[in-house]
C-alpha cells in the first residue's frame, strides 16, 4: 500500500518535472536546474555522511574537480573532438572517482571528527593551490567553454540544459537508490552503526570506506559536471568552503537518515536562496538560524519529521492534530516575524547608510524606513512590535506544545522528532 | 643568517598565536570529546567585543571583558544547546557548532559591517622591543608570545598540579564515579567549555589589535587551527603547541624561499625537463606558503595518523 | 528598503511584460552584496544608483525611467553566472559589475555567449572595476567596456609621479598577490623600470588574502634594501603588509593601488603617512563641485571605487542622449556604438573609449597620504592629497596583441 503510494508519488513528480518547465519563465527554469544539481550533490554527499556516517566538510573538492574535468572535455569538443555533448558528465564522474579514491585514502585513515577536519583541509588545499595552476585551472579567472551542438540539439536554451540535467540527475538518483539495495549498500550502513563488527565479519573497513568515499565523490563529480555544463565555466571558487558548507546545511536540514531527505533540504534552500537572496542582506544569517533550529529541535531534519508523521499518524488522527498544529504554526510565524523584524532593524540601525544619516543629523538618531513604514529608533511602537510578537508567539508555542503532547498521548504513540528512527549518523570518538 | 634569525622570531610568535587559539579547542576536545567548530568564531567574537569595549573604556578593560563575555557565551552554549543534541552523537554536536559559527559570523557582520574595524593596540605598547640586524622587533609580538606561554603554563599547572585539575580529569575519565564522589559534573563540564571559549576570546582580543579585525578572521584562522590540532593530535596540549610552532616556522621560512619542484629536479640534472612540464613543477614555495600547513597535515596523516602527540585512534 | 520595492517592480515586470508600452532601459548590477567582499559591492551599487537617479531626473530614457536591479553574486563567479541568467530572464539590457576580475571574466564570457545565441537581444557589459588585462586581451569583445584603469596605467603614472617627488629612489621592490591582477602589476613594474630609472631589486607573488602574518615578507623586503615598494595589494593584504613594515621600522615609501579602500587609513594609522596611491580620481584634484554634489545626494564624499562608477554611468548617459528608439525596442548594439564615440568630461580630465579594445583612455591621479587633509578619510585627520594628474594620452598603453574584437554587422 505505502509502496504503491510512493511509486505513484515519484511518478507524479517525474511527470511534473518533464511537463511543467516549458511553461515557466527563464528565471524559474534556471532555478530548477540549480535545484536539480543541488539535489544530486546533496544525495551524493549523504551517501558518505548520512549512510556511512562519515561527516565531510570538504565535498566542494569533488564537485569542483568534476566541473573542471567536464569543462576540459567541453573545450576539447570545441576544438573538434567528436564526443556527444549529452555524455559530458561522464568526465565529471571519472574525475570525481579518481580524486575520491586518492582523497578518500587519506581522509579515511582517521574517523570521527578527525575525518571531518581532514576533508575540510583537503578542500582548502584545493582552494589554495588551484588558482596557481594556470594550465588546468586557468588561474583565478578559471576556464570557460561553450556547449557544442550534437545531433540537432543546440543546447543553447536553458530548457535544453534543463532536460539534460534532469536526465542525468534522475539516472544518478536511481543509481544511488539501487546502491542502497546492494549488499555493499547494507555494509555502508553497518560501517556507520558498528565498524568493529564489520571488521570482525572479515571486511576491510578502510578499503570499504575508500570505496564509499569514491562513489560519493563520483556522483558529486557528476553534479559538478552538470553545473559546468549549465554555467559553461569553472573557477577555483568552486572549491571554497562556502560550497562545502551549503551541502552540509542542505543535507542535514532535509534529513540525513532517509534517502530523499537531502533532496528536501536542497530544494528548500535553493528556492530560499532564489527567492530571498536579493531581498535581504541577512539571508545567510537566516540560513544559519534555520539550520541550528533544525539541529536543536528536529535532529532528523524536515524529512525525518515528515516520515515520522507518515508512519505514525493515521488519517483520522489528523483531525485531532490539525488544531494544535495550526496553533503551533501561528506561534512559529509570530516568533519568526519578531526575529526577522529585529534582524532587519539591526541591519538598518548598524548599517552604513544609517551611519551617514546620523552624521547628517548631527548625532541625533533619525527615523528610518523599513517594511514600507517609518520607525523612530526610540519610539515605543518600534520596540513594542517585536516584544508583542515574541510574547504572543512564545505563549502560543508553549500552549500548543502541551496540546500536541496530549494528542500524541491520546493516540497512544510515542512523540519525538523521529526518536525511534535509526540512530543519527554517529561519529565515533 | 639575518633571514634565518628574523624568520625564526616571526615564526615562533605566529606559532604561539596559533597555539593560543588551538589551546581552547584542544582543552574542550580533550576533556569533553566535543569538537567545537565555532571555536574560531569565539576568537573573532573576542576581537570584536574587545574592540567595542576598548573604544569606550580603554584597551586593558577590553582585554579583560572580552574573554569573560566569550566565556559566558561558551557556557550558555554548553548548558543549553549542546545537551539537546548530545543524544544524537558527536556528529550532531559538530553540526550544531558549525551552524553556530555561521550565525556568529553573520551577527558580527550585522552589527559591525563588512569592513575591517579599527581595533588598535594602545600607543604605549607600540614600540620596538629590540633591534636585530637593523630591523625593529615590535614589543607587541613579544606580548602575544608571552600571553600564549603564560596561558600554556597556567593551563598545565591547573590541570596537572591542582585539585581542580584532578576533578576535571576524573570527570573526563570516569564521569559516573566522579559524580558519585560528590563532584558536580555538569558544572565542571560547563566550566571547561567556558574556559576554552574564554581562551579563544582572549586570543582574539590580544591578536585582533595586531592583525586586522574583520568578519573573515575566524574563517581564515579557523582552518589553520584545525590543521594544527590534526597535526598535533586532538586533545593533546603539548601536541598542539608543537604543531603550532611547526606551522608557524614553516610558514615563516617558506616565504623567503624560491624553491620549486623544478629546482629540486635541477639538482639531478632534470631541471629543464621539469620546467617544461610547468604547473606544479614550477610553483615557487613562497607563492604557495599558505598551502604548506595542509601539505604538512597530509604527510603527518600518512606517517603518524594519530598526530604528533596524539594517542592511537 | 529599496530592495523590496525593486523586487516588487521586477516581479510585476516579469508578469506583465506584454502590457508595458514604452520599453524601459534596465540596468542590472551583479555585485557581491553578501559575503566577504560586500563592502566594495555596496559602493558600486550606490554609485550606479546615484548616476541613474541623475538620468531619471533629466527625463529617463526611451520615455521611461531607467530601472536598476541589484543582483547578489554572493562573492563568487558561480553566483554571478547564476544571477546573470536571472538578469537575462528579467530582460536586463546592460550589466554593470566591478569587484573582482574573476567575476568580470565570468560575466564577459556569459555576455559573449548570450549575444552569440540571441542576436537582436544583445546585452552590454560595463566593467567599472575589474582590471585584469585579459578582459581587454584574450577575452576582449565588442560588448565589454572597461571604465577603469589597468595595471600599466596605474604603475606608469605612479612611478612617474613618485620620481618627480623624489620618493621613488632607484631600488624598487615588487610585492603582489599571486593572481592575474598581481601578475599584471608585477609585469608593469618591470616594464616601467627603464623609464622610471629604477631597478627591481626583488619580486614576490604571494597568496591572496590568506596570509595572517606579513613579518616574514618584511624580512625579505628588508634584505633587498629597497627605496620604495610598489604593490597592487588590496584589502587585508595591503593593510597587513603596511602594518608589518611600520612595526619593523622599515623606512620605505609604498606605491599602492587600493590604499583608499574605506577602513584602510584608520586601520593603518600613522604608518600610512607619506605613501602613494594611483587611482582614477581624487577629491583634491580638479573641480570640487563634483564631490560636493555627490555629498549632497549621498551624505559622503565620493570614495574608493565610487567616482569611476559614477563617471561610467555618466558616459553611458551621454551615449544615451545620442540614440533614440522612440519608445520601442532597445537595441543595445546602437548604445554600444554611441558609447564608443563618447568623450566624457570628469573633474580630472576627459575619458574616451578606445575602439580597438574598449579600454577607456583616462587620466590617472596619483596622490599621497597627508596629515590634516582637506578630505579626511575614515574619520581620521589623515587623507589623500593629489600630487599629479597624468592625462589619459600619457597613461595609456598600446592595444594588446591578443585582442581580436569582432564588431557587429
d(CA A272, CA A303): 17
- pLDDT surpasses 80 at A355: no
Instruction: Identify the CA nearest to A412 among candidates A322, A299, A317.
Output: A317
Q: What's the structural domain count of chain C?
A: 2
- Alpha helical stretches, state H, chain B: 2-32, 39-57, 59-76, 82-86, 90-112, 139-161, 163-173, 175-180, 185-207, 217-232, 237-255, 261-267, 271-277, 292-303
CA distance A19 to A32: 13
pTM score, whole prediction: 0.85
| Chain A residue numbers touching B219 (CB-CB < 8 A) | 241
Cα gap B216→B213, rounded to integer Å:
8
Do residue C170 and residue C248 come from a single domain?
yes
**pLDDT confidence band for B276 (50 / 70 / 90):** low
State whether B294 and A124 contact (CB < 8 Å).
yes
Choose the closest CB to A427 out of B90, B226, B280: B90
Listed residue (B220, B79, B35) closest to A55, CA to CA: B35
Using a CB–CB cutoff of 8 Å, tell me whether B162 touches chain C.
Answer: no
Q: Residue C226 has what DSSP assignment?
A: -
Pick the more confident residue, B91 or B204: B204
> Residues C138-155: what's their mean pLDDT?
94
Residue C409 placed within a domain: no
Do C230 and C156 fall into the same domain? Answer: yes
Whether B166 contacts B35, CB under 8 Å: no
Any idea which of B26-30, C103-107, C196-200 has the lowest mean pLDDT? B26-30
Has residue C380 been placed in a domain?
yes
Neighbours of chain A (3+ CB pairs under 8 A): B, C
Instruction: Using CB atoms, pick whichever of B2, B3, B287 lies closest to residue C178.
Output: B287
Nearest-Cα distance to chain B for A33, in Å, is: 26
Q: Which residues pair with A374 in a beta bridge?
A: A369
User: CA C183, CA C164: separation in Å to the nearest integer?
Assistant: 26
B contact residues 92-151, partner A, Cβ 8 Å cutoff: 92, 94-96, 98-100, 102-103, 106-107, 109-113
State the Cα–Cα distance between residues B116 and B212, nearest whole angstrom.
Answer: 6
Where b means 16+ CB within 10 Å and e means fewer, B11-44 reads: bbbbbbbbbbbbbbbbbbbbbbebbbbbbbbbbb
Q: What is the mean pLDDT of residues B14-37?
A: 86
Helix (H) or strand (E) run with residue C253 in it: strand C253-256
Instruction: Report d(CA B21, CA B52) in Å as an integer.
Output: 20
Cα distances (angstroms) measured from residue B148 to each of B62, B143, B195, C399 = 18, 9, 15, 55
Alpha-carbon distances, residue A258 vs A10, B311, C38, C75 (angstroms): 15, 35, 37, 33
C239 and C96 share a domain?
Answer: no
CB A141 to CB C78 under 8 A? Answer: no
In this structure, how many other beta carbons lie within 10 angstroms of the beta carbon of residue A360? Answer: 11
Selecting from C105, C106, C113 the residue whose C-beta is nearest the C-beta of A146 gives C113
The pLDDT value given to residue A278: 67
Nearest to C301 by CA among C292, C288, C310: C292
Confidence of residue B274 (pLDDT cuts 50, 70, 90): low
Confidence at B281, pLDDT banded by 50, 70, 90: low
**Lowest-pLDDT range of A410-414, B24-28, C136-140:** A410-414
Q: Of B91, B287, B305, which is closest to A427 when you measure between CB atoms?
A: B91
Residue range A133-137: mean pLDDT, rounded: 81
B interface test, pick of C35, C247, C251 with most B CB neighbours within 10 Å: C247
Asked whether residue C400 is domain-assigned, the answer is no
Q: Which residues of B touch C247 (CB under 8 A)?
A: 136, 138, 140-141
Q: How far apart are CA C258 and CA B224, in angstroms?
A: 27
Asked whether the beta carbons of residue C102 and residue A142 sit closer than 8 angstroms, the reply is yes
Q: Residue C210 and residue B2: Cβ atoms within 8 Å?
A: no
CB B14 within 8 A of CB B248: yes
Q: CB–CB of A389/A338 below 8 Å?
A: yes
Chains that touch C (3 or more CB pairs under 8 A): A, B
Residue carrying the nine cell digits 629540486: B264
Give the ipTM.
0.86
Instruction: Please indicate if any CB of chain B lies within 8 Å of the CB of A53.
Output: yes
Domain A2-280 is of which CATH architecture?
Orthogonal Bundle (1.10)
* A110 in contact with chain C, both atoms CB, cutoff 8 A: no
Domains of chain A by residue range: 2-280, 313-411
Rounded mean pLDDT, B98-126: 85
From residue C104, give the alpha-carbon distance in Å to each of A40, C83, C84.
29, 13, 11
Q: Which residue of C has its CA nearest to A282?
A: C34
Domain positions in chain B: 2-216
Question: Which residue in chain A is spatially nearest to B33 when comparing CA positions?
Answer: A429
Chain C contacts to B (CB-CB under 8 A): 36-39, 178, 204-207, 209-213, 215-220, 222-223, 236, 239-240, 243, 247-250, 262-263, 266-267, 269, 378
Between CA B71 and CA C107 the distance in angstroms is: 46
Q: How far is CA C407 from CA B122, C94, C357, in A?
A: 59, 18, 11
Name residues 394-413 of chain A within 8 A of B (Cβ).
none
**Closest approach of chain C CAs to the CA of A368, in angstroms?**
10
A27 part of contact set with chain C, CB < 8 Å? yes
Tell me if chain C has a CB within 8 Å of the CB of A272: no
Number of CB atoms found within 10 A of residue A46's CB: 30
Residue A111 confidence (pLDDT) = 79
pLDDT confidence of C15, banded at 50, 70, 90? very low
A240 touches chain C (CB under 8 A): yes
Taking phi first (over 0 means left), then psi (-120 to 50 degrees means alpha), and beta for anything else, what does residue B58 get?
A: left
Residues C177 and C247 in one domain: yes
| Contacts across the B-C interface (CB distance below 8 Å) | 114
Best residue in C15, C105, C207 for a mutation probing chain A (most A CBs within 10 Å): C105
- Find, among C301, C273, C245, C307, the residue nearest to C384 by Cα: C273
Q: How far is B110 from chain A (nearest CA, A)?
A: 5
Distance from CA of B287 to the nearest CA of C (A): 4
Sequence-distant (6+) residues with CB within 8 A of A245 are A57, B98, B102
For residues B293 and C167, give the distance between their C-alpha atoms in angstroms, rounded to a whole number. Answer: 39
Q: Are B113 and A352 an interchain contact pair (Cβ–Cβ within 8 Å)?
A: yes
Answer whether C228's CB lies under 8 Å from C253's CB: yes
Average pLDDT of the segment spanning B115-134 = 79
Give the Cα separation of B66 and B202 in Å (integer). 7
* Contact at CB, A424 and B229, closer than 8 angstroms: no
pLDDT given for residue C317 in this prediction: 94
pLDDT, one tens digit per residue, over A242-287 is 889 889 999 999 988 888 889 999 999 888 888 877 677 788 889 8
All three cell numbers of C6: 525593486
For residue A219, give the H/E element and its range: helix A205-231
The answer to whether B263 touches B271, Cβ cutoff 8 Å, is yes
Asked whether the predicted pLDDT for residue A199 surpasses 80, the reply is yes
Q: C106, A233: Cβ pair inside 8 Å? A: yes
Of C216, C236, C248, the CB nearest to B212: C236
Q: How far is C203 from chain A (nearest CA, A)?
A: 16
Give me the residue from B98, B99, B223 closest to A124, CB to CB: B223
* A-chain residues near B294 (CB < 8 A): 121-122, 124-125, 128
Q: Give tens-digit pLDDT for C19-51.
A: 445 789 999 999 988 766 677 888 899 999 999
pLDDT at residue B271, rounded to an integer:
67
Residue of B nearest to A138 (CA): B279
Q: Do B290 and A128 touch (CB under 8 A)?
A: yes
Q: Which of B204, B237, B181, B212 is nearest to B63 (CA)?
A: B204
How many A/C residue pairs have CB atoms within 8 Å?
Answer: 108
**3-state DSSP helix/strand/coil percent for chain A, to nearest 5?**
75, 5, 25
* C401 assigned to some structural domain: no
B236-261 pLDDT tens trace: 888 889 999 999 898 888 876 767 76
Report d(CA B176, CA C264) in Å as an integer.
55
Separation of first and last alpha carbons in chain C: 43
C89/A26 CB distance under 8 A: yes
Residue C59 within a domain: yes
Q: Is the pLDDT of residue C11 over 60?
A: no
C216, C243, C250: residue with CB nearest B7: C216
Q: What angle do CA C97, C180, C232 make, to 5 degrees?
A: 85
Q: Is C63 exposed, middle or buried (0-12, 13-18, 19+ CB in 10 A)?
A: middle
Q: What is the pLDDT of residue C16?
A: 43
With CB atoms and an 8 Å threshold, state whether C179 touches A140.
yes
Question: CATH code at C158?
Answer: 3.40.50.2300
Q: For residue A254, how many other CB atoms are within 10 A of its CB?
A: 30
Q: Is the pLDDT of residue C349 over 60?
A: yes
Q: Which of C70, C109, C110 sits opposite A278 (nearest CB)?
A: C70
Please indicate whether residue A422 or residue A100 has the higher confidence score (pLDDT). Answer: A100
Sign of CA dihedral B154, B159, B161, B164: positive
pLDDT at A151 (0 to 100): 81
When pLDDT is averaged across residues B164-186 and rounded to a whole number, the result is 81
3 state SS of C123: coil
- C26 forms beta bridges with C67
- State how far the Cα of A234 lies from the Cα of A402, in Å rounded to an integer: 52
Q: Between A and B, how many CB-CB pairs are < 8 A?
A: 142
Inside any domain, residue C303: yes
Q: Give the nearest partner residue to A133 out of B81, B223, B280, using CB atoms.
A: B280
Subunits next to B (3 or more Cβ pairs <8 Å) are A, C
Residue carrying the nine cell digits 574616451? C352
CA B170 to chain centre: 26
Q: What is the pLDDT of residue A422?
A: 36
Across the interface, do B279 and A118 touch by the CB < 8 Å criterion? no
Phi and psi torsions of C220, nearest 5°: -70, -40
Q: What's the pLDDT at A374?
A: 82
B216 at interface of C, judged by CB pairs closer than 8 A: yes
Q: Which long-range contacts (CB under 8 A, 24 or more apart) does A177-185 make?
A: A177/A259, A179/A47, A179/A215, A180/A51, A180/A259, A184/A208, A184/A211, A185/A51
Amino acid at each position: 500500500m505505502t509502496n504503491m503510494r510512493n511509486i505513484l508519488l515519484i511518478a507524479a513528480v517525474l511527470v511534473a518535472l518533464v511537463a511543467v518547465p516549458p511553461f515557466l519563465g527563464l528565471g524559474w527554469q534556471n532555478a530548477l536546474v540549480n535545484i536539480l544539481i543541488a539535489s544530486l550533490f546533496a544525495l551524493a554527499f549523504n551517501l558518505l555522511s548520512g549512510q556511512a556516517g562519515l561527516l565531510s566538510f570538504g565535498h566542494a573538492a569533488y564537485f569542483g574537480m568534476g566541473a573542471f574535468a567536464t569543462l576540459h572535455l567541453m573545450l576539447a569538443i570545441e576544438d573538434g573532438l567528436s564526443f556527444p555533448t549529452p555524455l559530458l558528465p561522464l568526465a565529471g564522474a571519472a574525475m570525481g572517482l579518481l580524486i575520491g579514491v586518492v582523497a578518500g585514502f587519506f581522509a579515511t585513515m582517521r574517523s570521527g571528527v578527525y575525518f571531518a577536519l581532514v576533508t575540510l583541509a583537503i578542500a582548502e588545499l584545493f582552494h589554495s593551490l588551484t588558482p596557481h595552476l594556470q594550465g588546468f585551472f586557468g588561474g583565478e579567472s578559471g576556464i570557460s567553454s561553450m556547449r557544442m551542438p550534437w545531433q540537432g540539439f543546440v543546447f543553447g536554451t536553458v530548457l535544453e540544459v534543463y532536460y539534460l540535467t534532469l536526465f542525468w540527475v534522475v539516472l544518478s538518483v536511481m543509481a544511488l537508490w539501487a546502491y542502497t539495495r546492494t549488499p555493499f549498500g547494507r555494509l555502508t550502513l553497518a560501517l556507520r552503526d558498528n565498524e568493529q563488527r564489520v571488521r570482525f565479519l572479515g571486511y576491510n573497513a578502510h578499503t570499504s570506506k575508500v570505496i564509499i568515499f569514491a562513489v560519493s565523490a563520483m556522483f558529486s563529480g557528476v553534479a559538478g559536471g552538470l553545473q559546468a555544463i549549465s554555467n559553461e565555466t569553472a573557477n577555483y571558487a568552486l572549491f571554497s568552503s562556502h560550497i562545502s558548507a551549503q551541502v552540509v546545511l542542505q543535507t542535514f536540514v532535509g534529513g540525513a537518515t532517509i534517502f530523499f531527505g537531502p533532496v528536501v533540504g536542497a530544494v528548500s534552500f535553493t528556492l530560499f536562496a532564489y527567492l530571498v537572496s536579493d531581498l535581504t542582506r541577512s539571508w545567510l544569517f537566516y540560513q544559519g538560524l534555520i539550520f541550528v533550529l533544525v539541529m536543536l529541535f528536529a535532529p532528523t531534519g524536515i524529512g525525518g519529521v515528515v516520515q515520522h508523521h507518515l508512519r505514525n499518524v493515521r488519517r483520522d488522527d489528523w483531525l485531532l492534530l490539525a488544531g494544535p498544529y495550526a496553533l503551533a504554526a501561528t506561534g512559529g510565524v509570530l516568533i519568526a516575524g519578531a526575529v526577522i523584524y529585529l534582524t532587519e532593524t539591526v541591519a538598518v540601525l548598524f548599517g552604513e547608510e544609517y551611519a551617514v544619516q546620523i552624521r547628517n543629523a548631527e548625532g541625533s538618531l533619525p527615523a528610518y524606513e523599513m517594511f514600507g513604514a517609518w520607525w523612530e529608533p526610540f519610539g515605543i511602537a518600534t520596540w513594542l512590535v517585536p516584544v508583542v510578537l515574541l510574547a504572543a508567539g512564545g505563549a502560543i508555542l508553549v500552549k500548543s506544545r502541551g496540546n500536541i503532547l496530549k494528542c500524541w498521548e491520546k493516540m497512544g504513540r510515542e512523540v519525538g522528532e523521529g526518536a525511534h528512527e535509526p540512530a543519527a549518523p554517529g561519529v565515533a570518538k | 643568517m639575518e633571514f634565518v634569525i628574523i624568520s625564526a622570531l616571526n615564526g615562533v610568535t605566529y606559532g604561539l598565536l596559533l597555539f593560543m587559539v588551538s589551546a581552547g579547542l584542544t582543552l574542550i576536545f580533550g576533556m569533553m570529546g566535543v569538537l567545537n567548530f565555532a571555536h574560531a568564531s569565539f576568537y573573532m567574537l573576542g576581537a570584536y567585543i574587545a574592540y567595542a569595549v576598548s573604544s569606550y573604556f580603554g584597551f586593558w578593560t577590553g582585554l579583560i571583558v572580552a574573554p569573560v563575555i566569550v566565556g559566558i557565551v561558551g557556557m550558555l552554549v554548553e548548558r543549553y544547546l549542546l545537551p539537546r543534541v548530545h543524544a544524537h552523537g558527536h556528529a550532531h554536536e559538530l553540526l550544531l557548532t558549525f551552524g553556530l559559527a555561521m550565525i556568529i559570523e553573520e551577527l558580527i557582520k550585522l552589527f559591525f559591517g563588512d569592513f575591517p574595524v579599527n581595533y588598535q593596540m594602545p600607543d604605549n605598547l607600540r614600540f620596538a622591543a629590540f633591534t636585530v640586524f637593523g630591523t625593529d622587533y615590535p614589543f607587541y609580538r613579544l606580548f602575544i608570545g608571552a600571553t600564549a606561554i603564560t596561558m600554556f603554563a597556567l593551563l598545565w599547572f591547573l590541570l596537572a598540579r591542582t585539585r581542580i585539575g584532578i576533578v576535571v580529569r576524573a570527570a573526563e575519565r570516569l564521569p559516573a564515579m566522579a559524580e558519585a564522589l560528590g563532584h558536580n559534573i555538569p558544572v565542571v563540564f560547563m566550566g571547561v567549555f567556558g574556559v576554552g571559549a574564554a581562551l579563544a576570546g582572549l586570543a582574539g582580543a590580544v591578536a585582533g589589535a595586531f592583525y586586522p579585525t574583520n568578519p573573515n578572521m575566524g574563517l581564515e584562522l579557523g582552518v589553520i587551527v584545525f590543521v594544527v590540532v590534526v597535526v598535533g593530535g586532538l586533545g593533546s596540549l603539548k601536541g598542539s603547541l608543537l604543531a603550532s610552532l611547526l606551522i608557524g616556522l614553516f610558514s615563516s621560512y617558506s616565504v623567503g624561499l624560491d624553491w620549486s619542484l623544478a629546482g629540486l629536479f635541477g639538482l639531478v640534472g632534470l631541471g629543464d625537463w621539469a620546467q617544461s612540464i610547468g604547473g606544479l613543477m614550477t610553483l615557487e614555495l613562497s607563492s604557495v606558503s599558505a598551502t604548506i600547513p595542509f601539505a604538512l597535515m597530509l604527510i603527518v596523516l600518512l606517517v603518524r595518523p594519530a598526530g604528533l602527540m596524539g594517542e592511537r585512534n | 528598503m529599496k530592495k523590496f520595492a525593486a523586487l516588487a517592480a521586477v516581479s510585476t515586470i516579469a508578469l506583465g511584460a506584454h502590457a508595458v508600452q514604452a520599453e524601459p532601459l534596465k540596468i542590472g548590477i551583479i555585485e557581491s552584496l553578501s559575503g566577504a567582499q560586500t563592502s566594495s559591492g555596496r559602493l558600486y551599487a550606490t554609485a550606479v544608483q546615484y548616476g541613474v537617479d541623475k538620468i531619471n531626473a533629466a527625463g529617463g530614457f526611451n520615455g521611461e525611467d531607467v530601472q536598476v536591479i541589484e543582483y547578489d553574486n554572493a562573492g563568487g563567479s558561480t553566483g554571478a553566472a547564476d544571477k546573470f541568467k536571472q538578469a537575462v530572464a528579467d530582460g536586463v539590457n546592460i550589466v554593470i559589475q566591478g569587484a573582482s576580475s574573476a567575476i568580470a571574466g565570468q560575466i564577459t564570457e556569459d555576455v559573449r555567449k548570450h549575444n552569440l545565441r540571441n542576436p537582436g537581444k544583445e546585452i552590454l557589459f560595463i566593467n567599472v572595476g575589474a582590471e585584469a588585462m585579459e578582459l581587454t586581451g584574450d577575452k576582449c569583445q565588442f560588448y565589454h567596456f572597461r571604465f577603469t584603469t589597468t595595471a600599466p596605467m596605474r604603475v606608469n603614472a605612479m612611478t612617474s609621479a613618485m620620481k618627480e617627488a623624489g620618493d621613488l629612489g632607484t631600488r624598487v621592490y615588487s610585492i603582489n598577490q599571486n593572481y592575474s591582477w598581481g601578475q599584471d602589476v608585477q609585469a608593469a613594474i618591470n616594464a616601467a623600470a627603464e623609464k622610471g630609472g629604477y631597478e627591481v631589486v626583488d619580486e614576490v607573488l604571494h597568496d591572496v588574502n590568506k596570509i595572517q602574518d606579513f613579518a616574514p615578507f618584511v624580512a625579505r623586503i628588508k634584505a633587498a634594501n629597497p627605496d620604495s615598494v610598489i604593490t597592487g595589494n588590496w584589502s587585508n593584504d595591503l593593510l597587513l603588509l603596511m602594518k608589518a613594515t611600520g612595526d619593523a621600522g622599515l623606512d620605505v615609501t609604498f606605491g599602492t593601488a587600493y590604499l583608499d579602500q574605506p577602513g584602510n587609513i584608520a586601520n593603518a594609522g600613522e604608518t600610512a603617512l607619506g605613501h602613494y596611491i594611483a587611482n582614477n580620481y581624487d577629491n583634491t584634484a580638479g573641480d570640487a563641485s563634483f564631490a560636493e554634489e555627490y555629498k549632497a545626494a549621498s551624505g559622503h564624499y565620493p570614495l574608493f571605487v565610487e567616482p569611476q562608477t559614477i563617471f561610467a554611468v555618466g558616459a553611458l548617459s551621454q551615449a544615451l542622449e545620442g540614440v533614440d528608439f522612440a519608445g520601442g525596442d532597445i537595441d543595445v548594439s546602437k548604445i554600444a556604438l554611441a558609447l564608443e564615440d563618447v568623450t566624457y568630461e570628469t573633474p580630472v580630465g576627459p575619458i574616451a573609449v578606445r575602439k580597438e579594445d574598449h579600454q577607456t583612455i583616462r587620466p590617472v591621479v596619483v596622490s599621497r597620504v597627508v596629515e590634516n587633509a582637506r578630505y579626511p578619510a575614515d574619520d581620521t585627520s589623515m587623507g589623500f592629497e593629489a600630487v599629479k594628474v597624468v592625462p589619459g594620452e600619457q597613461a595609456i598603453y598600446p592595444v594588446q596583441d591578443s585582442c581580436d574584437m569582432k564588431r557587429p554587422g
